Structure 1
């Protein structure tokens, strides 16, 4: 059921008399440079917007009590002729698993970590502060980045409650960077930052009609981020446009010759495809599509989308877009991941699928749960005022406070299966090292050499990108990019029959973000601007679940 929201309660406040709803970073910067309003006034406007809209969307866990003071200092710098970057005085929101050494918490949405003190800002926060961006608040998320359960309410955390999709609040905004995307879509900030292991930037961006740009693993620093799987974890921007996301990427990227973590010692990533100049220099219009060459991975990707009866409108719309891309002068051909039957589940996103079956010891989940257990222990050891030292402590806390935390199955409506994925992670602590290394080598090889890189090769040269659906295929293409640690961008295309946005993704090989920028902005120009959130079903109070419900789970 879809019902309309009363628009008056959700009207975007004007900033010093100026309409700033859907304003881009360059537009806001232009207003600031002309003294149409100050950064402090801009922050006040966004804070008022959060007060009005967040009670319904629950995208923001907490706001920064120092935001106005920070903005005031930046205004004084501007008055004295010092403008740091295009982000000078621009407010942003960051996911709550990214450490900030200030008066806000860093908890991954988990009450067990409330009150802990991080040793310092995450590297990404340092870069953004130095660029002059104003940290406005912490975004809600699927608790512990969707790591704790196999069937759960997407976008829910014990600290933030149920984050909702501003286009239709009866549906989830995607996870796990749900609040980062939905806060931007709701005009609570000018840009936002999320993290991804597998789909956690792509899906929320796709379902909120914003741009999500997931960099190659290693291009942006994850220092100071509550880890999930360092071999797959990355940080990326959400923007209203490819240009906005790219402006942020120019600030936060820090290319290294190789990924400097032990987990990539098996397969090094080449950086021969270096980006000349700034990423923003690669922004383009639709005429850049003339002469471009794209592949559409068919087997188990577009093939599944074509047969997905519930996603017919999305598939048809994406096919129409591909026709427009071809009419703009691009070549689009069917290709395949050679390893598709081994690592792409025919039933949709399934990180336990590997070696052609679910539950394989060669699956992505084997890698993730091993790395999560080990690296969470390392992260927790660096916190102050902390009584939580191991994953076992988190599990025990959730059981002790199960009425609020859902540590026991069927005791909390957001977590019908309790914390069953945490339980599986605990099993990995005693595994032999070679079991983990074998799984890591397998998913890397099958998703890179026998996956994306093979699909990109055409007549001795590489295609300009792989075009993929984000939702109509069940999320499987996105998962291949995640296993590989390769970059991806999503561009909004339309709204489906339940009022939720959808888009198209582009996948490239390692460190080819500049090509994602070039062709993402070209497709964005071809598609045109999408509609703003309608806030349908404003009074929704359901829990929108994801995952496969267990046969005997009693939903509360």
Structure 2
């Protein structure tokens, strides 16, 4: 699903973010923009290089954009990850088991976005079941949508699980997209596709009518071409939801997240540098040092931190995810309307076995099967308490307090690897600190930092619980200070020669 600029009136930069139209051209209306995105999806996502970033489109988006033009989001077109319910399109989580799941209802976060003037352009492809089915999967693949291709190098991976959301924004298929994250599923695809991704504090955005993995760690969040656009979308989807207890404090903390971004300053701000999370890739290290130099030039005070999380944090996280996957998935499936749909996680496991050629050809479902036996409630409660303590109070909170820093930074992840359905993902280099923020439930922003061999790499900003606005302001200040060039997507295969 991607390729040439055929049948697309505006340049990539103008359509992907908030850049102005060419000199002398009249600004495109919201309706025209939505129609242009639909044409571009047809030209380069369904045809041409076939990015496979979009599973389904809303043909009424241009009309809806026109009707919403006077609202705060002004009819901006947004792709929604296909594990989030929207009233006009099925919600499949990428699985054939949910191909007929058309609940006809909006998730509260989508309803909020519509009320603010956002328009559902369509549903974005994803790693099937948000990448919780197997521990040897290929990110970005789903039985419904196929394999998402990275627009910067179409033979490279778009990371997951919000792979389609990241690739679509990078390729100019929408103004912005909504992804979801349990651990890395917004920030990794944003980083490798060269866009901004923000995982808010867990509880800032409702999870109701979102296909679940973990009540402790799941959240939706914006993906966009700029920090300002991500902040604008966050403000539209954030807020308390009586059906989601985690969001009780969201209304009190929801604000105009775009306020202060344009003139945010890093002067005198102490920022912790997670040196052990920089990894072992020389190209990433060089790019990170350039980012640190940019932060210093902007007035920030980088503070070196040598920190390694307790390995028990990751072990306990898996215990939590498997237990909550079973309980949360059973509750979600039981809420669905319509005949012939799975009602339990066990039903999904059985469906996959019965449809193995389509569902299990490339990798298995061993995590699903393990989740079916994750029934020890006492072990779960202990793992939840321990993993949260190690990531939060004894992790991020302690680092911020002891080193007197406002945020911590590290590269988000390495450059995109070659997609390989046979052998699975190739995460290499020991790069990034995103699991700390994911397990603690704290905000994590990734901003494009530059490129290694023309492959994007992001810079992570991680802050304290509910420090979402402050993290966004820091990212916006860095965005203005960044000196590394950012090349547009090639829409071609990667080559060792420029």
Deviation digits for residues 355-402 of structure 1, max 9, x if unmatched? Answer: 6xx7x4xx2010001001001010011111143011111111111111
Question: Which runs of structure 2 are paired with 1:269-288 in the superposition (5 Å)?
Answer: 277-285=255-263, 288=265
Name the structure 1 match of 2:411: 469
SS in 2 for 1:283: coil
- Tell me by how many angstroms 1:515 deviates: 1.1
Name the structure 2 match of 1:551: none
Name the structure 1 match of 2:32: 41
Question: Which runs of structure 2 are paired with 1:116-155 in the superposition (5 Å)?
Answer: 116-118=101-103, 120-155=105-140
Name the structure 2 match of 1:206: 191
Between the aligned partners of 1:216 and 1:257, the Cα distance in structure 2 is 17
* 2:38 is the alignment partner of 1:60: no
* 2:323 is the alignment partner of 1:370: yes
Name the structure 2 match of 1:543: none
2:16·2:171 contact (CA, 8 Å) conserved in 1? no
SS in 1 for 2:137: strand
Name the structure 2 match of 1:301: 277
Name the structure 1 match of 2:291: 321
Name the structure 1 match of 2:354: 400
SS in 2 for 1:153: coil
Deviation digits for residues 90-134 of structure 1, max 9, x if unmatched? Answer: 1110000000111x1101000111112326210111011111212
Between the aligned partners of 2:243 and 2:445, the Cα distance in structure 1 is 22
1:336·1:455 contact (CA, 8 Å) conserved in 2? no
Deviation digits for residues 155-197 of structure 1, max 9, x if unmatched? Answer: 0000000101110111111100000010010100011000000
* 2:400 is the alignment partner of 1:456: yes
2:239·2:254 contact (CA, 8 Å) conserved in 1? no
**Which of 423, 440, 449 pairs up with 1:484?**
440
Change (3 A) 1:84 1:448: same
Name the structure 2 match of 1:547: none
Name the structure 2 match of 1:94: 80
Change (3 A) 1:379 1:270: closer
SS in 2 for 1:145: helix
Change (3 A) 1:52 1:14: closer
- Tell me by how many angstroms 1:20 deviates: 5.8
1:169·1:537 contact (CA, 8 Å) conserved in 2? yes
Who wins on radius of gyration, i.e. which is larger? 1
- Tell me by how many angstroms 1:510 deviates: 0.6
SS in 2 for 1:46: helix
Name the structure 2 match of 1:330: 300
Between the aligned partners of 2:267 and 2:59, the Cα distance in structure 1 is 49
SS in 2 for 1:192: strand
Deviation digits for residues 501-532 of structure 1, max 9, x if unmatched? Answer: 10110000111011111110011111156221
Between the aligned partners of 2:434 and 2:64, the Cα distance in structure 1 is 37
Name the structure 1 match of 2:450: 494
**Which of 131, 145, 170 pairs up with 1:160?**
145
Name the structure 2 match of 1:379: 332
Between the aligned partners of 2:116 and 2:241, the Cα distance in structure 1 is 20
Between the aligned partners of 1:23 and 1:38, the Cα distance in structure 2 is 12
2:8·2:39 contact (CA, 8 Å) conserved in 1? no
- Tell me by how many angstroms 1:325 deviates: 1.4
Alignment RMSD: 2.7
Question: Which residues of structure 1 form unaligned runs of 5+?
Answer: 1-6, 344-353, 407-411, 540-556
SS in 2 for 1:57: coil
Between the aligned partners of 2:273 and 2:397, the Cα distance in structure 1 is 13
- Tell me by how many angstroms 1:476 deviates: 4.7
- Provide the TM-score with structure 1 as the length reference: 0.80
Between the aligned partners of 1:60 and 1:270, the Cα distance in structure 2 is 33
- Tell me by how many angstroms 1:289 deviates: 1.8
1:180·1:238 contact (CA, 8 Å) conserved in 2? yes
* 2:212 is the alignment partner of 1:227: yes
SS in 2 for 1:319: helix
- Tell me by how many angstroms 1:25 deviates: 5.3
Between the aligned partners of 1:276 and 1:393, the Cα distance in structure 2 is 38
Change (3 A) 1:255 1:124: closer
Deviation digits for residues 270-328 of structure 1, max 9, x if unmatched? Answer: 999x769521113045x712111100123x423xx1xx2xx210111101211231233
Between the aligned partners of 1:258 and 1:119, the Cα distance in structure 2 is 18
Change (3 A) 1:42 1:327: closer
